[in-house]
């Protein structure tokens, strides 16, 4: 399951990031690292972007970025 598959209000735990190279580094620099808890706050009408709460702050991710983040649902 990826972060893109979570619906607003659902929580998960980051288990991995599938992307390699600069995109992976960018995602990790934003605080999305394995073990972090994440909650989906809202999703734009067309599914892009996705607003999440991670480590106590709000973060907006593109749908293709969220699709690279593997999560386990709570």
Tens digit of pLDDT per residue, the chain (74 long)? 999 999 999 999 999 998 788 888 999 999 999 999 999 999 999 888 999 999 999 999 999 999 999 999 98
Which residue, among 73, 72, 56, has the nearest Cα to 16 in the 3D structure? Answer: 72
Distance CA 71, CA 5 (A): 9
Return the domain boundaries, the chain. Answer: 3-73
pLDDT of residue 58: 96
Burial of residue 36 (CB within 10 Å: 0-12, 13-18, 19+) is middle
pTM score of the predicted model: 0.87
CATH entry, 3-73, from 1.10.3720.10, 1.10.10.60, 2.30.30.90, 1.10.645.10: 2.30.30.90
pLDDT of residue 3: 94
Distance CA 36, CA 14 (A): 5
Give me 22's structure tokens: 């600069």
pLDDT of residue 74: 83
């Amino acid at each position: 399951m990826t972060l893109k598959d979570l619906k607003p209000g659902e929580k998960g735990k980051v288990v991995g990031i599938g992307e390699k190279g600069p995109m992976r580094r960018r995602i990790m620099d934003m605080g999305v690292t394995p073990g972090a808890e994440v909650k989906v706050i809202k999703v734009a009408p067309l599914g892009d972007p996705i607003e999440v709460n991670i480590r106590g702050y709000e973060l907006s991710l593109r749908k293709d970025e969220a699709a690279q983040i593997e999560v386990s649902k709570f």
